[in-house]
């Protein structure tokens, strides 16, 4: 059994570990942490590195991973 944190755009090592695992469990009761792979990633672009960030709607401190929403405005 392997425990993984859900990420917006996981790196290849993360994906390889998911593929190798026989029993995957995603941690959803953990507190949401800003500025992590949970809502951002970086890609190579013609003009350098481009950050890709999912805007999150924050309601309270200590918000659980399973209860956050994407900001659409």
The angle formed by the CA atoms of residues 62, 60 and 24, to the nearest 5 degrees, is 45
Measured distance CA(13)–CA(20) in Å, rounded: 11
- Structure confidence at residue 8 (pLDDT): 75
Instruction: Give the other-Cβ count within 10 Å of 39's Cβ.
Output: 19
How confident is the model at residue 20, as a pLDDT? 92
Q: For the chain, which ranges sit under pLDDT 50?
A: none
Beta strands in the chain (DSSP E): 2-4, 24-26, 40-45, 48-53, 56-57, 69-70
């Amino acid at each position: 059994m392997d425990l993984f944190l859900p990420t917006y755009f996981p790196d290849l090592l993360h994906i390889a570990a998911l593929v190798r695992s026989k029993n995957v469990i995603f941690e959803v009761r953990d507190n949401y942490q800003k500025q992590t792979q949970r809502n951002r990633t970086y890609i190579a672009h013609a003009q350098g590195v481009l950050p890709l960030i999912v805007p999150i709607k924050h309601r309270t401190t200590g918000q659980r991973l399973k209860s956050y929403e994407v900001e659409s405005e």
